[in-house]
């Protein structure tokens, strides 16, 4: 009833050269019906619930899940469905939007570092510090508004430096017991258009639609390039 999948088809290994244009944005359904999907989801939720209890009881590791993707990629839905079996007492979800005035007074990692999960707990980031090498790269005017010293505003060098800072942070977290799972939800421009139209047509989803969503579609290729460079620069792999 359920198709077998190979994680290698979706996992980015250290040293992989990523070209998003060659990566599928849709795949065949793993399930024959919605009923089969719900049954399988319940089984995984039960297993996840059991594993979370062990994770919390051992109090040795922290787990951080990062969800990134274009607007309408499905970050909210993935968090809501997949994590539905998690005990909220041991899990926190943080959504990172435009930085506040206070956050802009600190380095670009500060606002997410403040919300890193404790040992025994799970932290879920809906967007993250990766926004600082994605949306900020696509819109350099945001970079110029961040109050950085003039000598640091060389756009070619600043991204390399930020990639290095991100990798160093994740290495540091790994060495101190935090396991980071990074999930990029890949969709096509045409599929994004369909989902935006769906938000307009469905009253309970109107609140999700913004004119800025349409504006950002003009930069689609710029975002694809930024995502590719980011994936290639920060895809690290740690042995268990």
Local confidence pLDDT in tens for the 240 residues of the chain: 333 445 566 788 777 888 999 888 888 777 888 888 888 888 888 898 899 999 999 999 999 999 999 999 999 999 988 787 888 889 999 999 889 999 999 999 999 999 999 999 999 999 999 999 999 999 999 998 898 998 888 767 899 999 999 999 999 999 999 999 999 999 999 999 999 988 887 777 777 778 888 899 999 999 999 999 999 999 876 654
Cα–Cα distance for residue pair 47/170, rounded to 1 Å: 27
In whole angstroms, what is the distance from residue 182 CA to residue 105 CA? 27
Distance CA 16, CA 235 (A): 8
- Show Cβ contacts of residue 106 under 8 Å, excluding neighbours closer than 6 positions: none
Q: Tokens for 168?
A: 């160093």
Class of the domain covering 37-234? alpha beta
Every domain of the chain and the residues it spans: 37-234
86 with 122: CB under 8 angstroms? yes
Q: Which runs of E-coded beta strand occur in 42-164?
A: 62-69, 91-95, 122-126
Residue 79 structure tokens: 């968090």
CB 136 within 8 A of CB 143: yes
Q: CA 81, CA 197: separation in Å to the nearest integer? A: 22
* pLDDT number for residue 183: 94
């Amino acid at each position: 009833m359920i198709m077998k999948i190979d994680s290698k088809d979706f996992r980015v290994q250290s040293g992989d050269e990523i070209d998003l244009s060659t990566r599928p944005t849709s795949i065949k359904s793993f399930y024959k019906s919605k009923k089969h999907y719900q049954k399988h989801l319940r089984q995984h939720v039960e297993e996840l619930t059991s594993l979370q209890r062990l994770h919390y009881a051992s109090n040795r590791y922290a787990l951080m899940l990062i969800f990134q993707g274009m607007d309408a990629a499905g970050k909210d839905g993935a968090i809501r469905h997949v994590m539905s079996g998690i005990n909220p007492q041991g899990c926190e979800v943080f959504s990172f939007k435009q930085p506040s005035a206070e956050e802009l007074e600190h380095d670009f990692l500060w606002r997410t570092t403040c919300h890193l999960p404790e040992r025994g707990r799970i932290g879920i980031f809906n967007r993250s510090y990766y926004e600082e090498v994605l949306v900020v790269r696509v819109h350099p005017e945001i970079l110029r508004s961040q109050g950085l010293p003039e000598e640091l505003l060389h756009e070619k060098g600043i991204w390399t430096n930020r990639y290095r800072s991100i990798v160093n942070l994740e290495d540091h977290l790994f060495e101190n017991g935090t396991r980071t799972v990074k999930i990029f939800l890949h969709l096509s421009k045409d599929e994004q258009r369909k989902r935006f139209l769906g938000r307009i047509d469905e009253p309970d989803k109107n609140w999700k639609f913004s004119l800025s969503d349409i504006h950002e579609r003009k930069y689609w290729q710029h975002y694809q390039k930024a995502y590719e460079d980011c994936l290639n620069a920060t895809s690290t792999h740690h042995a268990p």
